[in-house]
Amino acid sequence: MFAEPEQSFVPAELGFDPRRSVRRMLAVMQRHLFLLTGSWPRLFELVYWPTVQMILWGFITRFLVTESSFVAQSAGIFLSAVLLWDTLFRGQLGFSLAFLEELYARHLGHLFVSPLRPWELVVAVFGISLVRVLVGIGGAMLLAVPIFHFWLPGVLGWALLPFFAMLLMFGWSIGLIIAGCLLRLGLGAESLAWGIVFLLQPLSGVYYPVKTLPGFLQPIAWCLPSAHVFEGMRAVLVENSFDLTHFFLGLLTLAVWMAVAAFFFILCFRHALREGLLLRQGE
């Protein structure tokens, strides 16, 4: 092999420069914000589905309050569940859509020949996903106040913060796995972005306790951070207590999911480098 040159006229990058790194991540976020703010259908879509879900479950709740003692005890259980579930779903979708936009635009090649690191792209897309969730869920949450006199932070209190963060990060880990699939399989895997999270919904015990599930499914459910969050949510709403066991188990399973998702994404990225998929993305 060659010896290292004593000098090169390429500008030296003395270690990692956090200021330039932040600028690169902001540039990626700016690209998606330009896209969002330049298209009213995209902005409308952010708020539309969470609001429709919230209204549907709000009316179901209003009906069940008079019919079910369980719902009457904690009238906000379905509305809390639907808004928190949408945090997970929108978090994943926001991540996956930002990645899909790069594939639609055949833009990954330009991104990866710039000094942008793959992890900087991922962090920037997390940021965009957070913006999308705050706009979408925040909009639906605000609308629930005049329509159903329901204020989510008032019902869940400070527990909302860890629930929100854990579900958002779980959504991102699923988004990262989908992004890996998209890198490896191209746009043929697009449908995963829209549908895969619904496979987890019945197992997460969003609207019912995990013990409702058949015995063989319960251990699988407990591997999902979302199952622990929704159990914790019910503990807050029904028993007015914050369940630390579910909180720590939720954190533990979340850490495993994040690590597995990052590992899978790295494997898929390396595969894309081997096969030249970053230049020739498509169906």
What would the two tokens of residue 125 be?
């897309």
Quick check: 40 binds another protein (CB under 8 A)?
no
Between residues 180 and 232, which has the closer beta carbon with respect to another protein?
Answer: 180
Short-list 123, 151, 125, CA closest to 138? 151
| Beta carbons within 8 Å of 18's beta carbon, 6+ residues apart | none
What would the two tokens of residue 114 be?
């710039």
| Beta carbons within 8 Å of 83's beta carbon, 6+ residues apart | 50, 54, 137, 140, 141, 144, 152
Between residues 12 and 199, which has the closer beta carbon with respect to another protein?
Answer: 12
Quick check: 113 binds another protein (CB under 8 A)?
yes
**What are the phi and psi torsion angles at 13 (to 5°)?**
-105, 100
Q: x/- site string to another protein, residues 66 to 95, per CB under 8 A?
A: ------------------------------
Quick check: 7 binds another protein (CB under 8 A)?
yes
Provide the minimum distance between the beta carbon of 165 and another protein in the complex, in angstroms, as a whole number: 28
Quick check: 31 binds another protein (CB under 8 A)?
yes
Provide the minimum distance between the beta carbon of 51 and another protein in the complex, in angstroms, as a whole number: 25
Select the residue interacting with another protein from 41, 115, 196, 223 (CB under 8 A): 115
The C-alpha torsion from 164 through 231 and 225 to 125, rounded to 10°, is -20
Select the residue interacting with another protein from 48, 62, 117, 134 (CB under 8 A): 117
- Cα angle: 259, vertex 260, 264; to 5 degrees: 120
What would the two tokens of residue 143 be?
């609308």
For another protein, the binding residues in 158-177 under the rule CB under 8 A are none
Quick check: 8 binds another protein (CB under 8 A)?
yes
Half-sphere CA count of 193, side-chain side, radius 13 A: 23
Select the residue interacting with another protein from 56, 72, 105, 260 (CB under 8 A): 105
Between residues 13 and 67, which has the closer beta carbon with respect to another protein?
Answer: 13
Q: Interface with another protein by CB under 8 A: which range of 24-32, 79-87, 88-96, 127-135?
A: 24-32
Between residues 15 and 214, which has the closer beta carbon with respect to another protein?
Answer: 15
Select the residue interacting with another protein from 13, 18, 40, 44 (CB under 8 A): 13
Quick check: 56 binds another protein (CB under 8 A)?
no
For 149, the 3-state DSSP assignment is: coil
Provide the minimum distance between the beta carbon of 183 and another protein in the complex, in angstroms, as a whole number: 12
Quick check: 38 binds another protein (CB under 8 A)?
yes
- Cα angle: 3, vertex 9, 12; to 5 degrees: 85
Print the SS3 string covering 4-33. CCCCCCCCCCCCCCHHHHHHHHHHHHHHHH
d(CA 271, CA 252): 29
Select the residue interacting with another protein from 18, 39, 79, 176 (CB under 8 A): 39
Q: Which residues bind another protein (CB under 8 A)?
A: 1-2, 4-13, 20, 23-24, 26-28, 30-31, 34-35, 38-39, 101, 105-117, 270, 273-276, 278-280
